[in-house]
Amino acid sequence: MKHVLIPTKLEKVAKELLTAKGFTVNQDADAPLADLAKKYPDTEALIVRSEKVTPAVMDALPKLKVVIRAGAGYDNIDTKYARKRGIDVMNTPGANANGVAEEVIAMVLAHYRHILAADATTRQGLWEKKNYMGRELAQKTIGIVGLGNIGRLVAKRLEGFEVKVLGYDPVISEARAKDMGAELCTLEKIFSEADIITLHVPATPETKGMVNAALLKLAKPGVVIVNCARAEIVNEADLRALKAEKKIGFLNDVYPEDAAGPKSVTDIADLMLPHLGASTHEANWTAAKRSAEQLTAYVERGVTTYVVNKGVPDGLDEKFQQLAYHIACVGKSLLGPGAPVTRIECSFYGNLHQFGKWFLSPVVAAIAPDFDRTEAPEAATAYLSSKGITAEIREVNENKKYGNSMTIDFVGGAGGKLQQVSIRGTIAEDNLMISRINDFDKLYFMPEGHSLMVTYQDRPGVLAKITAAVAAANINIDDIRSPHDLKGEMSLAVLKTNQAVPAAVLERIRRELEPGDSVAALSVV
């Protein structure tokens, strides 16, 4: 595999490194990718930035084996179609992180000191010094939403400003956050206490519109919100409604589309940039170099660490990966909303044991919204390590005769209060089944759709109160499981419902429970 096409303005280091390794490299940043695909049909490797790699492009390149995105995000590539075609897709995570982190600091300082407006009026011959009284960054409280590659670097770049850093990340451990100089806390605490809030989470169903009226109403007057992540994260209508009342500063670098034209946030953004976060010579050079190095390692040594659409090995039924994902969703829910996971221990029985590492990606995807379940096992291992989470695949005792099943234990919690959740699952008659949760055995419920799980000290009347609360909200109950634990002291009620159970219903049920009882809602698709 020696024919490479680079249809983008990428630093020349990529072409230089690949040419030195004997690759034939065609680079053209001016012609459309579709035209280049027709011009170079022998292309086996493609390196892109924001160019869209569609099924049509892939079909025009019959010899294509790998696509590398010189950057972290890869939503411009149809990864599912690539998998069907047997094409691996890679990214270069972290290559652009420093550029975005520095941009955040630059935007905040420009806003606090009125840099743009002051420059413009001074050039006009005016002297409006009294109109540009600014604020200092020192002694402020900074909230970082998302402590991944970029969030970590933002925290590091802030060290010299003598600020207090609050961090939110549903995956990272408290110890890891502390190492970064951040206090791990809830979103509500960040929005209540921070002077500046910077967003660094991916666009997922869970994060879409996460910055909404409920959080904005908690904010201090004059709070500054920086969005260099994804446009979908901020509910624009809610921000628009509360901006004047809360005197919110909004600094923005992301939009639904990277293109010229009117922008919907023009009326609410105090500073707007054309998605410049990764647009630095250094970030471009790093991404180009890593693209070339990863391609070389892929071709010469078969290294697939950064393949994001990894398939499954022969002999493994993909439904067992779905099972691992569903089990992890249940486990994360039972640990509690926002409770970070600190340790994962897995046991895979029967034929599944030989494929143990292949279940790590779906498990990580269930507890981390910014991780794609199709990523390679090595990427899952690296991700867990970066978050300070330990993972272990245990040796198993086949004398237990569990068949093709898996047990996954999660240890986590916040505020120094750790707890453990242990879940076993299998596939029966082609259906995903949870057979045990902690000491509640022979459960046999399908972890799909909407569920309500309540653990309580065994006593009469509790189940009736739970079902009454659900019925009062006009929610249908499709199925109920209500086993006792091995000692007969605790009960678990699992209700399958026809819709998600809202927070108000959960709160009503909590009022009916005793200390030590717990309630959790879960929706898994």
Model confidence pLDDT, tens digit, residues 430-449: 899 999 999 999 889 998 88
Q: Is 24 left (phi over 0), alpha (psi -120 to 50) or beta?
A: beta
Residue 402 — pLDDT band, cuts 50, 70, 90?
Answer: confident
Q: How far is Cα 520 from Cα 456, in angstroms, rounded to an integer?
A: 12
Let me know whether 162 and 235 are in one domain: yes
Q: What is the DSSP string of 471-500?
A: HHTT--EEEEE--B-TTSSEEEEEEEESSP
Predicted confidence (pLDDT) per residue in 288-340, tens digit: 999 999 999 999 998 888 888 877 777 888 899 999 999 999 999 888 877 88
Q: Is 101:158 a contact under the CB 8 Å cutoff?
A: no
On the question of pLDDT at 150 being above 90, the answer is yes
Q: Which of 196, 183, 199, 180 is nearest to 140 (CA)?
A: 196
* Domain match, 366 and 356 both: yes
Residue 155: pLDDT band by 50, 70, 90 thresholds? very high
Tell me how many domains the chain contains.
4
Domain CATH for 514? 3.30.70.260
* Domain co-membership, 182 together with 44: no
Which candidate, 176, 167, 174, 212, places its Cα nearest to that of 194?
167
User: Which stretch of 111-125, 365-379, 380-394 has the lowest confidence by average pLDDT?
Assistant: 365-379
Same domain, 262 and 114: yes
349 lies in the same domain as 489: no
At 355, list the tokens. Answer: 């494929």
Same structural domain for residues 383 and 481?
no
Supply angle C-alpha 49, 51, 54, rounded to 5.
Answer: 130
**Residue 463 structural domain:** 448-525
Residues 358 and 388 in one domain: yes
Confidence of residue 206 (pLDDT cuts 50, 70, 90): confident
Q: Is pLDDT above 60 for 131?
A: yes
Among the ranges given (12-21, 184-193, 244-253, 254-263), the one the predictor scored with the smallest mean pLDDT: 254-263
Please indicate, yes or no, whether residues 409 and 507 belong to a single structural domain of this protein: no
24-43: average pLDDT = 96
CA 140, distance to chain mean position in Å, is 27
Report the CATH number that the domain containing residue 411 is assigned in CATH.
3.30.1330.90
Out of 409, 431, 447, a domain closes at: 447
296 & 321 share domain: no
Q: Residue 23: what pLDDT?
A: 97
Please give the residue that has the higher pLDDT: either 419 or 224: 224
Residue 374, pLDDT > 80, answer no
Residue type, 172: I
Contact 173, 384 (CB under 8 A): no
CA dihedral of 17, 42, 53, 1, whole degrees rounded to 10:
-50
Judgement on whether residues 340 and 217 belong to the same structural domain of the protein: no
pLDDT, tens digit, 9 for 90 and up, residues 36-82: 999 999 999 999 998 999 999 999 999 999 999 998 878 889 998 99
Residues 110 and 246 in one domain: yes
Q: From residue 280, give the alpha-carbon distance in Å to each of 149, 151, 251, 287, 505.
A: 17, 18, 19, 11, 49
- When pLDDT is averaged across residues 187-208 and rounded to a whole number, the result is 92
Tell me: pLDDT of 416 over 60: no
CATH number, residue 234: 3.40.50.720
Most confident of 1-5, 246-250, 305-309, 335-339: 246-250
The pLDDT tens digits for 83-115 are 888 899 999 988 889 999 999 999 999 999 999
Burial 326-359 (b: 16+ CB within 10 A, else e): bbbbbbbbbbbeebbbbbbbbbbbeebbebbbbb
CB 463 within 8 A of CB 477: no
Asked whether the beta carbons of 18 and 25 are under 8 A apart, the reply is: yes
pLDDT at 235 over 90: yes
d(CA 90, CA 367): 22
The pLDDT value given to residue 73 = 79
- The residue out of 388, 422, 447 marking a domain boundary is 447
What is the Cα 403 distance to its own chain's centre? 33
pLDDT at 418: 66
Place of tokens 């790590």: 360
| Strand pairing report for 196-199 and 431-437 | unpaired
Do residues 519 and 454 touch, judged by C-beta distance below 8 A? yes
Among residues 112, 72, 102, 114, the alpha carbon closest in space to that of 90 is found at: 72
Whether 415 shows a pLDDT value over 80: the answer reads no
Contact 470, 517 (CB under 8 A): no
Q: Are residues 133 and 254 in the same domain?
A: yes
Angle (nearest 5°) at CA 248 between 244 and 253: 125
